[in-house]
Structure formats: structure tokens, C-alpha cells
Amino acid sequence: MNSSPDTPSGDLRRLPGFYRRWDLTEVLELHPNCQIEDAGNHADGTPLVAVFSSEPAAPGTDRLVQMPVGELATLPASELFRLQREVDEALRKAKLAASWLEGALAMRYSHRAHQARAVQAKDTGTVRFEDNGVTVVADLPKRVDWDQNTLAGVADRLTAEGEDPRHYIEAVLKVSERKYAAWPPHIRKVFEPARTVRTGKETFQLIAGDA
């Protein structure tokens, strides 16, 4: 981009981003009362324009949940790109703030929570105590891991003793997709009836310009 215009006189405000001529149809549908100014050229030489409107500025992240999804979907791609960046940044800051606060809460209450569990003769679980009129609920989940090789040996021993290990051990059979793809076709065909492919949630990342 070679240059950018100054804001025209009056109460007009520039919409975020710059637009190619073929983007204007979409922009004008949302902002029919606007003023268009040359904004230089893109790095590839394509002419760009800036759009100034007297209408309310484009929605910020605080207004996103107040807009119908269908209305959001009609915004120019540049607006969606801006909103996605703002949401990502807000989420990053919120996660950092949450982690910082959790560290402070742990520093203040972990010792008292440990003492409360000791009184109740338990190492994990939920305890409650008061702090100047505020009830603190401290939860320490129990997470148990079982060594797979040891369990396999236990299963063999139970089988040798005439017991059915399925009464005691829940086994989940899995196949590595990477290994499956490398198998010869006749081996894959044997496994195909047990294989179901499901998709996850599709995501979209917006990248401005030629990035």
C-alpha cells in the first residue's frame, strides 16, 4: 500500500481496512451512505479505496453476541478478519488473567485446603471454609493412572488362574491411524469393518492480504 487518505471533514468515520473495487458491492450493502476515497495501491499494484461512513462504527467484540450470526456472516471479509484478531487477542488476555488469578488463589488457599482435607482424613475431593464472609470451595480432583504393562501381566495371571480378566479390567482396543495407512491393502481390508471416520469441528483462520 502506497498511501492512505486523511479522514474527510464532518462526522464520517473510516471503516477499518482498505478495499479493492470489487469489494465495494458488499460494503455498500451494509453502508449505503458513505464516501469513498482513493487509498493508494496494494503491494501487487491493485488500487485500494478507503470507505468513510456516518453510520455507527463496525461492531466490536463486545457486540458480537448481540448480533445474529446471519448478520455477522454478511460483514466484509476484512471486518471478519479484524473481529477474529480482536477475539483471539481478548481470549489470550483472558486466559493470562485467569491463570494469574488462579495462581494467587492457590497461594492464598492451598494450605488451608490441605488442612481442611486432613481434618476430614482425605487426600482429594472438595472442602469448604470461610474467609471473612466469603465461602471458599476448594476442589482437588482424583486422577488415577494404571500402568498398562502391569495390567497386562495381571490379566495373564488371572487367565492362568481360571478367572476372566474382563470381569475386572476394561480394555479399549485402538489402532494407530498412521500405522493403518502404512499397512498393505489386504491387511487394511480386514480392519475396515471396525473403522469409522468422523470429522471434527471445521475451523477458519482469516489472513489479510497476501500472507
Cβ(32)–Cβ(76) under 8 Å? no
Alpha helices in the chain (DSSP H): 24-30, 69-73, 77-119, 148-160, 177-182, 185-191
Alpha helices in 18-76 (DSSP H): 24-30, 69-73
6 three-state secondary structure: coil
Query: How far apart are the C-alpha atoms of 2 and 38, rounded to whole Å?
Result: 11
62 three-state secondary structure: helix
Mean pLDDT of 151-161: 94
DSSP labels for 158-211? HHHTT--GGGT--------HHHHHHS-HHHHHHHGGG--------------TT-
- What are the domain boundaries of the chain? 1-57, 85-140, 148-194
pLDDT in the model for residue 57: 53
Beta bridge partners of 131: 134
Cβ(64)–Cβ(72) under 8 Å? yes
Cβ burial, residue 99 (10 Å; 0-12/13-18/19+): exposed
Distance spanning both ends of the chain, measured CA to CA: 14
Mean pLDDT of 154-166: 94
Query: How far apart are the C-alpha atoms of 34 and 20, rounded to whole Å?
Result: 16
Mean pLDDT of 124-147: 94
- For residue 159, is pLDDT > 60? yes
Most confident of 41-45, 63-67, 71-75, 158-162: 158-162
Assign 2 a pLDDT band (cuts: 50, 70, 90): very low
